[in-house]
Amino acid sequence: SQTIHQWPATLVQPVGSPLSLECTVEGTSNPNLYWYRQAAGRGLQLLFYSVGIGQISSEVPQNLSASRPQDRQFILSSKKLLLSDSGFYLCAWSVGSPGHADYEQYFGPGTRLTVT
Amino acid sequence: GENVEQHPSTLSVQEGDSAVIKCTYSDSASNYFPWYKQELGKGPQLIIDIRSNVGEKKDQRIAVTLNKTAKHFSLHITETQPEDSAVYFCAASFLGGSYIPTFGRGTSLIVHP
């Protein structure tokens, strides 16, 4: 079966520090991968998505970036964190390839980031 | 692009009552409508979905209905239990290209014992 991992689970970082959040998926190949941010009491904001290695689409311009160095690995980064970067970061995957009938999206457990 | 409105933002019910959450979408090309349940501190989990070729789908105590003409879909939970308390998100998407669902803003369901 497929599983998705995120780490760390929680993170407290000072303003101006760098960030690296990692997401890995097991049990599937060539998934679509997504990074979402969820502010307190708010909905899901799509930050980046990727349909393959090295292919990243950005939905919201900001000081975050994403990379996909391997098929099932998705990394969210920042060179300098802002206070507004605080939130709950969720990684997700879907099958999403031509010929697949199911496009269900599965979320990881999330990373709670607090920028102080 | 697609726009999804979800109501209510908060729903409080007594255990055993039914709960209904409604969503509307704007893009008539959308043909896939999943619902997610998010418990506190966890990632959302897919609980049920419906495709545009059906009008209703049931899974035990939960059901989803779709009205393509009016562009709205609803989640129905019967015989609610305290463990149903969570935030529920609806989404709309088009299956055929890159899968990028548009989410509603969420409904916080509180079931009082």
Q: Please compute, for residue B112, the number of CA atoms within 13 A of its CA located in the half-sphere on the CB side.
A: 4
- The answer to whether the peptide bond before residue B101 is cis (omega within 30 degrees of 0) is no
> For residue range A65-80, what is the model confidence (pLDDT) as tens digits?
999 999 999 999 999 9
> For residue range B4-40, what is the model confidence (pLDDT) as tens digits?
999 999 999 999 999 999 999 999 999 999 999 999 9
Helix (H, G, I), strand (E, B) or coil at A83: helix
Q: Which two tokens stand for residue A31?
A: 């998934």
Please give the average per-residue pLDDT across B77-99, as a whole number: 91
Query: Residue A112 in contact with residue A11, Cβ under 8 Å?
Result: yes
Interface test with A, best of B33, B94, B98, B105 (most A CBs within 10 A): B98
Among chain B residues, CA nearest to A51: B98
Query: Residue A9 in contact with residue A112, Cβ under 8 Å?
Result: yes
Q: Is A7 on the interface with B (CB under 8 A)?
A: no
Does the beta-carbon distance from B95 to A105 stay under 8 Å?
no
Query: Is residue A99 pLDDT above 50, yes or no?
Result: no
Q: Who has greater pLDDT, B1 or B60?
A: B60
> E strands of chain B, at which residues?
4-7, 10-14, 19-25, 32-38, 45-51, 56-59, 62-67, 72-77, 86-92, 102-103, 107-112
Q: Please compute, for residue A37, the number of CA atoms within 13 A of its CA located in the half-sphere on the CB side.
A: 19
What's the pLDDT band for B95 if we cut at 50, 70, 90? confident
Distance CA A44, CA A93 (A): 14
Helix (H, G, I), strand (E, B) or coil at B43: coil
pLDDT, residue A61, reads 65
Please, which residues have CB within 8 angstroms of residue A64's CB and are 6 or more apart in sequence? A19, A47, A48, A76, A77, A78, A85
Q: Is A32 on the interface with B (CB under 8 A)?
A: yes
pLDDT, residue B50, reads 93
Does the beta-carbon distance from B43 to A108 stay under 8 Å?
yes
